[in-house]
Structure 1
Amino acid sequence: MFFTGSRLFYDRYRLNSPKGNFQLKLTPEQVIYQFAGDIAKVFPIFNQLPHKFKLNFSKRVLNFLNQYAFVEKENVQLTNAHKVTVAASYIKLTLGYRQYLINTFDKVVVYPTAQYFPHLDETHTGHFNPKRNAVMLALDEFEHDIYYNNDGKDLALHEFTHALCFEMLQTYAKHPDAERFKKGFRLINEWMAVPQNKAKIVQSGFLRAYAFTDRLELVSILIELFFEKEAVFKQHFYDLYVYVGGMIKHPKIK
């Protein structure tokens, strides 16, 4: 039997079946009307965007809610507004991608507060578990981080970045932006490997100590700072700022 047809059809990136369990049936216009204030908690410029950009962002939020399930644990009180806000956090991170949904998780598991994870023998406010295809978040920490949205910490961004790394850094990753992501990841780590660069960033206190745990924690914390400490990041560590933004194809990085 002869092979016919484009090889790209078989190699292209395709999403797994949707698992979403969001109950409201909304249009992008209705998302703007009902949840603009909630989206602005994680994406402060949302209300200043032209309407067509708001519609695009809201459509992406709805697609996230259709693709991924929310799982409530320990009697957590999770509202529709919480779910939209979590979705908006992810959409903010992946705004530069055309293929912005990924397959390394299919659910967001939400606890009321920090949890002990036996397989890690540690207590965490958030965790990405690729074996369970789950991003786990503590609601109290998530709410704290979006309320204090310029303190350099954002739990949802951090854990979603771990999921994105797991997707993009696979040896045979099929995501259309995987090579760009890998290049950015390499440039970040090469920058950090230069002794004077590392000394400067350590002495500045710009990175919290946890960033030096490993390369994945470093990247997740740099993503948090890219969004929450943009002005300082851009002023003092411009090359690193460009590498981080370029890795996720952020629209601000040309």
Structure 2
Amino acid sequence: MLQHVSTELQENPLIDKYVIGGLAIILSIVVVVGALVWFFNLIESIYVDYIGGKPLFRHFYFRIRDLSPKQKHILDTEFSFYKSLNSKEQRYFRHRVHKFLSTTEFIGKEDLVITEQQRVLISATAIMLTFGYRVYAIKLVDKILVYPSSFYSNLDKAHHKGHFNPGFKAVIFSWEDFLIGYKIEDDNINLGIHEFIHAIHLSALKTGYKNSVSSYLFLSGLQEVTDFINADSNYKNKIKQSEYFRDYAFTNDFEFIAVLIENFIETPKAFKSQFPEIYNKVKRMLNFNFSGY
């Protein structure tokens, strides 16, 4: 004869007490951390707006990563900005390049095989432009497409040396023209700088990213530059007649800031000499307090 036995789960007050206590502790931690983050952001925003005009600090990493010996050699021998940094700055720079390499897909086009030189120099260009910021990732970039030379785009039915496609989150380069930008370092033409500034600019404008300190510095700095230039028609004419900035700069605001920063990076002494007010605004905009600038 089979007996039906019914069992009931008995509540255990002790277990309930621990569960509720544990949840309360977790909730308290979340609230405290959230409050600390909010307070830090408040203090930093006050500091940026009224005191320092820059982030409270630029570097904070739980673990600093490094590049391979081959990758470090490329920086040591082929990237002037990196060579101008002190040893501590170089260590942070390599960490950021490592991060960019690990989070970005490099794609060769037209049978081009991506090399370590291409990966490192392209990554270093992006990192150089955001090295003054604590939040340095370019949110609208997760792919780099590299063509051997100028390429045809079906989007506008034209040939290009470089292009930024925000919808595809891709920066596209002609490797031939990218290299020329570094072989000739004082002609104020650098394809890598130009296209990455477009990416930084649009990333800052995109909803959801524009509230960061990095985006704020970039956009407010850009506004300061344009307001300063537009306030004085004589000064604006002086800029155009100087021929220091190439004509392409005056196509639109996006091209203007890209060309402005190409000049700032490549010929800072000439820039500062001819247009010191704009130079200082661009320097603050990028928080670019490094040797040679």
TM-score range, shorter chain: 0.7 to 0.9
**Counterpart position of 1:183:** 220
| 1:208 aligned residue (218, 232, 246) | 246
**Counterpart position of 1:147:** 183
Higher mean C-alpha displacement, 177-186 vs 130-139: 177-186
**Counterpart position of 2:194:** 158
CA contact (8 A) 1:42 1:149 kept: no
Point out where structure 1 has 5 or more consecutive residues left out of the alignment: 13-26
| 2:109 aligned residue (67, 70, 73) | 73
Q: 1:167 to 1:42 in 2, by over 3 A?
A: farther
Which residue identity lines up with residue 213 of structure 2 in the other structure? P
The CA distance in 2 between the partners of 1:53 and 1:207, in whole Å, is 30
**Residue by residue, what CA displacement relative to the aligned partner does 1:207-240 show, whole Å, maximum 9, x if unpaired?**
1111111000000011100100111100110111
Higher helix content, 1 or 2: 2
**Counterpart position of 1:89:** 125
* Alpha-carbon shift at residue 48 of structure 1 (Å): 4.8
The CA distance in 1 between the partners of 2:203 and 2:233, in whole Å, is 30
Q: Which of structures 1 and 2 has the bigger CA Rg?
A: 2
**Structure having greater relative contact order (Cα 8 Å, sep ≥ 6):** 1
| 1:237 aligned residue (275, 279, 288) | 275
Structure 1: which 4+ aligned runs deviate by more than 4 Å? Answer: none
**Residue by residue, what CA displacement relative to the aligned partner does 1:154-199 show, whole Å, maximum 9, x if unpaired?**
1111111001001112355233322221111111111231211111
CA contact (8 A) 1:36 1:46 kept: no
Which residue identity lines up with residue 191 of structure 1 in the other structure? F
The CA distance in 1 between the partners of 2:174 and 2:77, in whole Å, is 17
Secondary structure of the structure 1 residue equivalent to 2:206: coil
CA contact (8 A) 1:152 1:225 kept: yes
Percent identity between the aligned chains? 30
CA contact (8 A) 1:113 1:125 kept: yes
CA contact (8 A) 1:96 1:248 kept: yes
Which residue identity lines up with residue 205 of structure 1 in the other structure? E
**TM-score with structure 1 length normalisation?**
0.84
CA contact (8 A) 1:142 1:155 kept: yes
* Alpha-carbon shift at residue 250 of structure 1 (Å): 1.2
CA contact (8 A) 1:42 1:88 kept: no
Secondary structure of the structure 1 residue equivalent to 2:80: coil
**Counterpart position of 1:57:** 93
The CA distance in 1 between the partners of 2:78 and 2:205, in whole Å, is 26
RMSD (Å) for aligned C-alpha atoms: 2.3
The CA distance in 2 between the partners of 1:175 and 1:43, in whole Å, is 29
**Counterpart position of 2:136:** 100
* Alpha-carbon shift at residue 88 of structure 1 (Å): 0.8
**Counterpart position of 1:34:** 70
